[in-house]
Structures are given as structure tokens and as C-alpha cells.
Amino acid sequence: MQIPRGIRGALIACHLLLSCAAHADPDEQAPQRELDLRYITDLVGVVDGGVERDAAWLGRLDVAVRSDADFLGIPRAHAYLDMMLVHGRRFSQEMVGDAQVVSNVDAPSVLRPFEAWVEAPLNRTTRLKLGYIDLNSEFDLQPVGASFLNSSFGIAPDFSQSGQNGPSIFPVTSPGALLAVEHKGWTVRVAAFDAVPGYVDHPSRFLPGPPGRGGALLVAEADVRIAGGELQLGGWAYTNGFTRLDNRGSGASHGAYVQYEHRLVDNGEGRGLDAWVRVGRAAPAVNEIGTYLGGGLRWGTEGSHLGLGLAHARRGDPALRAEPGHRAETAIEATAFHRINDSFAVQPDLQYVRHPGWRGTPDALVLGVRLHFSTSLGLGDDRR
């Protein structure tokens, strides 16, 4: 019986992982087996403008299990599985009308495995990861921006808009392979993902979807510690073409981004003023957002801080000609985070969205509060 090409490739990749991981550095700290429970819930409402003045309850529950070292006998390897439940209405689509999405847990209600991968060190500085991977856990991270609710401060919209069903990010991932080389002053990551996560016409299906549809998404990023901060340079491209917005054949979908993050003031004991700025560009012939500019400030500690961020997404000329309207959508967010204890935190939030969706929807004022619940349980060591 002939083995399908995709399965043959997976078997070859696993063989390489097994053989290379056997030479990993034995002194590297091994991960411990544990169970993580995380629940984020947003109570949000449009208090002025938008599509409709109404409120919604959104939430995301993750139950994640991490194995300890030597998973399936692979030296120093470990596995990770994250089962995810998303609930709530499509708040941005139905009430705000914005394109950037004011809550990063806003998605169709679904229960599905979100991540499922195996990772192994190849040597002291290099690691390999295979499986269903959240691209945004490795690429286009905005560590300061992650404190905010707006989706553009997680992975920016110039990248997240791409593909037939987005890249391999929340709320559905696709199979991929990632190689990372990490040194003290710099890190380089390269990866290839299946180009179509999930099912475009069936967003609530349990399984993420079969591989091998629509080509591949290739991503690369370099992070460099410089001038007391961190500079991030990244790029991405799809191997298959996409229909141009002017309907004149097909065109390539690709983009690049640069981000710089820096601590401006440090008062000791973990308290300080952090800032970041990010600029991204996507091929305007096939992507509605051609340019993105975002960034902001955060003051305080990891456990208690205030933040102010701005996300500015600009349509390209082809999109503006295809459907006239406003050139840009701008979201301004003010947020405050306070951790009550190890398992619970509260975060009131205010956002103002200028020109939601670019097409005549009144400016929206959104008020909300996010509640964070989390706990981790050590499961011991199952090795004998």
C-alpha cells in the first residue's frame, strides 16, 4: 500500500526529530508535567455609536497539559496539548462594526483542540517544534501590547488578515514545523504552516482541519537585544496566489513588520514605564489592510499596571477603489490590570474606535471589564 505524500513527510520529520534530539544538551532544564487551567471572560458593551448599543459576555477556557521530558522516548522532548472552549456573541461584528476586533477572545463559539505539538532541543541553542502551533506564540509577539484587550495588540491586523482563514492563530491553528536558534543577544525563528487553518465555511467544527490545502505560509523573524530594548524584524509569505482586490487575476500575499520595545523608566522592584511601537506592511493588491501602525505605554508592574495603546489600520489603494469609504480605522485603548491573588485578576477597559470598519459606521465607545482566572497543577513525574 502506498503511503500518502503528506503522511510520508510527517514520518520523515518525526524521524529527524528523534535522531537529532538524541544529541541535545543533557544539562538543559527539563520541563515538568503539569495541567494548566485558564479562563478569560469579558463583559463588554457599546455605550455610544457603533452598530448597536448592547452588551455581550465573551469567554475563552483553556485546559492545557504539558508532558515532562523524554516524551515517547525522545530525549529531552516534551509535548503540549491545549483544549479550548470559546463562547459568546460576535461582539465586534454585531455591535461595534470594527475590523480590528476590540476583544481578543471574540470568535465563533467552539470547542476544539487549539494546540497539539511536540518540541525537542537539537542542541544547546536550537529547538524544533512540530504539530498544531499557535503562530502568535512564536511570531509577531507584542509583550507589552499583550496586556491590552484589542486584538491588534496581540498579532497585528496586517498579518492576522492574511490567508483564506487567517494564519495559524486564535481561534484555529494549522499544522506546522518551526526551527528556532536562540542565543543570549539574539534569536532567529523560521517556520512553515499549512496555509488554511480550519474550515472557512464551518468555523465551529471540532477538528482544526486536514493539512495540504492551499499551499503553505512561510514565516521568519529575528529578535535582537539592542540599546537596552528589543528589536523585532519579521516577514511572511504564502506560496499560493490570491485573487486581487481589483479582480484582475491573482497576486502574491506577503508582508513584513518591525517592532521595538523599550523600558523608558525603571523604579526598581519590577516597576517601570514600558513602551513599544510596531509598523507592518502587507501586499495591498490582495489584502485590505496595506499598512498598520501601533504601539503604546504601560506603567507599573506585571501584577498591577496601567496602559494606553493606539492601533491604526490603513486600507491600501486597491481596497479603497474596490469599495470606497474611510481610509483608516483607529482604536485607542486605556486599560488597568490588577492581580488580586495568584489565581485571579481584574482588568477594567475603555476603547474608542474611530471609523469602525471604514464604511460609515458611527465612531464607537466601548466599555468593559476582563476577569482572569488561572491555576496550574503539578502532575508529578511519570518516568520510572
Over residues 176-185, the mean pLDDT reads 96
Question: Any alpha helices (H) in 107-193, and if so which ranges?
Answer: 157-160
C-alpha torsion angle, residues 280, 307, 146, 159 (rounded to 10): -20
- The answer on pLDDT for 4 being more than 90 is no
120-148 pLDDT, tens digit each: 999 999 999 999 999 999 999 999 999 99
The predicted model scores a pTM of 0.90
For residue 48, how many other CB atoms are within 10 A of its CB? 12
Reported as a single tens digit per residue, the pLDDT across 338-358 is: 999 999 999 999 999 999 999
The tens digit of pLDDT for each residue in 200-215 reads 899 989 988 778 888 9
- pLDDT of res. 270: 87
Q: How confident is the model at residue 228 (pLDDT cuts 50, 70, 90)?
A: confident
Is pLDDT above 80 for 26? Answer: no
35/37 Cα distance (integer angstroms):
7
Residues 6+ apart with CB under 8 A from 255: 158, 159, 162, 235, 236, 237, 280, 281, 282, 283, 287
> Quick one: 227 exposed, middle or buried, by C-beta within 10 A (0-12, 13-18, 19+)?
exposed
Over residues 45-73, the mean pLDDT reads 95
Domains and CATH numbers, the chain: 5-22+31-378 (2.40.160.180)
Taking all residues of the chain, what is their mean pLDDT, rounded to a whole number?
A: 91
Distance, C-alpha 59 to centroid of its chain: 16
Q: Region 358-371: what's the mean pLDDT?
A: 96
184-188 long-range contacts (CB < 8 A, ≥24 apart) are: 185/224, 185/225, 186/222, 186/223, 186/224, 186/225, 187/222, 187/223, 188/220, 188/221, 188/222, 188/223
> What Cα–Cα distance (Å) separates residue 273 from each residue in 60, 104, 307, 332?
29, 24, 10, 18
When pLDDT is averaged across residues 104-113 and rounded to a whole number, the result is: 96
Can you give the pLDDT at residue 381? 55
User: For residue 10, is pLDDT > 60?
Assistant: no
Stretch among 110-119, 172-181, 260-269, 328-337 having the lowest mean pLDDT: 260-269
Best CA proximity match to 162, nearest among 241, 277, 278: 241
Share of the chain above pLDDT 90, in %: 81
* pLDDT(264) > 60: yes
| Res 380: pLDDT | 65
- Report residue 31's pLDDT band, with 50, 70 and 90 as the boundaries: low
Tens of pLDDT, residues 61-78: 999 999 988 888 888 899
Please write the tens of the pLDDT for every residue from 267-312: 888 899 999 999 999 999 999 999 999 999 999 999 999 999 999 9
